[in-house]
Structure 1
Amino acid sequence: MLGKNVKIKEEQHKEMAEAARDIRYLLQRGYPRDSSIRFAGDHYLLDKNERYILARTVFSTGTAIARKNKKLRCQELKGRTLLIDGYNVLITLESLLKGGDLWRADDSFLRDIKGMFRSHSNDRSTFEAVEEMLSFLASSEVKKAIVLLDTQMKNSGELAALIRKRMEELSIKGDAETSRHVDYDLKNCEPSSVVATADGIVIDSVNNVVDIPACIFQTWNKE
């Protein structure tokens, strides 16, 4: 499997590293995030892709620490109810499976940099990602898992039906549903629930989070 040879990027070239340092400095002093990234990007003459990487991976120390403190270890899910930000998790897993570029951010979460959510379509790698995700859930012995998929995404209903079928076959309690407001649903879940996502806005709004792609990548490296 190609994805099992992927390497997670944690280092940047000199200009990006210096821009990241400056962005953290500005964020710590209360400057707006977008303005900080634009200022540093202009100063170091970074291209659009480099700026997008920084936007996905660089955070203030306070934000990074707060998010890390909410993050559960991969072994801490037994008996817990898990809500899964479906496309957020699956698209990152697809990048892993394809050997694409993934970055470990300041807040410790694994993120892809393709920005492809609206143009995403289900293909073989999507179904492989589903199998990896469900295999992890089965081995984690979760009490229940609810996978939420954005209604706006192409063929989300068909994907939800496939996930429901495979969950039943694997004896995983839970459901797969489509929603017009996945972020709202996740942010307003029961306080004791665990949310699987790398979406910073959602992470900041909930109590317990897990990074499923990072857990699966960790498992691969133990094999």
Structure 2
Amino acid sequence: MNNRNRGKNTGDDTLFGSEKQVSKLKLAVEDMQYLLSRDYPEKAASDLVGNRYRLKTRQIQALRGMSASDVQLHNRQLKHVDISDLKEKTIYLDGFNVIILLESLLSEAYVFEGLDGCIRDLSGVHGTYKRVNQTLRAVELIASFYRKNHIQKLVWIFDQPVSNSGRIKQLVLEYAEQNRLNWEADLQFNPDKFLAESSGIIISSDAWILDHCKEWFNLIGYLISEENLSVNLIKTK
């Protein structure tokens, strides 16, 4: 057993732990939304806003995750489905996006609610996925969601190029077999494109996927309230 988790980085309490820093971030998100809605490129907008509020690198990363243009927000809202729409459906889940976010959240890392209502974190896969102490708990939470809402089938999509993607796929399939869940897991070279083009309902908080998919559901937001999870959540409003 390893002792890894996806908790806070050193310095995150300084960047996100005070009312002053959170207030600054909220103002920055407002400015960012204004600029994105007037077609400023994301990089230029975040540089401008970052300089204005003297944001550090991780604060800018959070700012980008929380921000979107008016058009993006409107379109994402139109495509968001309710929990009642999931019954007897096949759902496609953005494997690394969801599991790493849950691992971060369960490790008490800071997570951020975007203007679109999606929760995002500051970690990610950098070529290699490593299982952590919270991995199994993350899978259990997804299983609980799957059972409660009578989902017909859940298809996990993982990035084939990521090292250890085969291992996490195996873990998910073994868990499903032991618990008699109708789950599939698939490795894709371009999972974002695959999910965006899928005809099913998507679970992801990846902005590009949300902008391009047909329908999506906000699983992390649902789990936080349904399972009453304790989270270090920074909200935009």
Amino acid at match of 1:176: A
SS in 1 for 2:85: coil
Amino acid at match of 1:114: S
Q: 5+ residue gaps in structure 2?
A: 1-16, 230-237
- Give the aligned partner of residue 208 of structure 1: 215
User: C-alpha deviations, 1:147-184, integer Å up to 9, x for none?
Assistant: 01112223211211121122223332231122211112
Are 2:93 and 2:203, in contact at CA under 8 Å, matched by a contact in 1?
A: yes
Are 1:16 and 1:50, in contact at CA under 8 Å, matched by a contact in 2?
A: yes
- Give the aligned partner of residue 154 of structure 1: 163
User: C-alpha deviations, 1:86-126, integer Å up to 9, x for none?
Assistant: 01000111112112111110011011122455353112211
Aligned-residue Cα RMSD (Å) equals 2.1
Are 2:92 and 2:203, in contact at CA under 8 Å, matched by a contact in 1?
A: yes
- Give the aligned partner of residue 232 of structure 2: none
**2:78 is equivalent to residue 52 of structure 1:** no
Mapped to 1, the partners of 2:148 and 2:98 lie a distance apart of 17
Are 1:72 and 1:210, in contact at CA under 8 Å, matched by a contact in 2?
A: yes
Mapped to 2, the partners of 1:158 and 1:23 lie a distance apart of 39
Are 1:24 and 1:58, in contact at CA under 8 Å, matched by a contact in 2?
A: yes
TM-score by length of 2: 0.82
**2:100 is equivalent to residue 91 of structure 1:** yes
Are 2:128 and 2:164, in contact at CA under 8 Å, matched by a contact in 1?
A: no
- Give the aligned partner of residue 218 of structure 1: 225
Are 2:203 and 2:216, in contact at CA under 8 Å, matched by a contact in 1?
A: yes
SS in 1 for 2:180: coil
- Give the aligned partner of residue 137 of structure 1: 146
The CA deviation at 1:197 is 0.3
**2:91 is equivalent to residue 82 of structure 1:** yes
Amino acid at match of 2:194: D
Mapped to 1, the partners of 2:107 and 2:140 lie a distance apart of 15
Amino acid at match of 2:203: A
- Give the aligned partner of residue 233 of structure 2: none
Amino acid at match of 1:205: H
Counterpart of 1:164 (choices 173, 187, 200) is 173
- Give the aligned partner of residue 32 of structure 1: 41
The CA deviation at 1:50 is 0.9
- Give the aligned partner of residue 113 of structure 1: 122
User: C-alpha deviations, 1:39-59, integer Å up to 9, x for none?
Assistant: 111122111111111011111
Are 2:91 and 2:203, in contact at CA under 8 Å, matched by a contact in 1?
A: yes
TM-score by length of 1: 0.87
Number of aligned pairs? Answer: 212
**Higher mean C-alpha deviation, range 178-187 or range 112-121:** 112-121
- Give the aligned partner of residue 5 of structure 1: none
SS in 1 for 2:74: helix
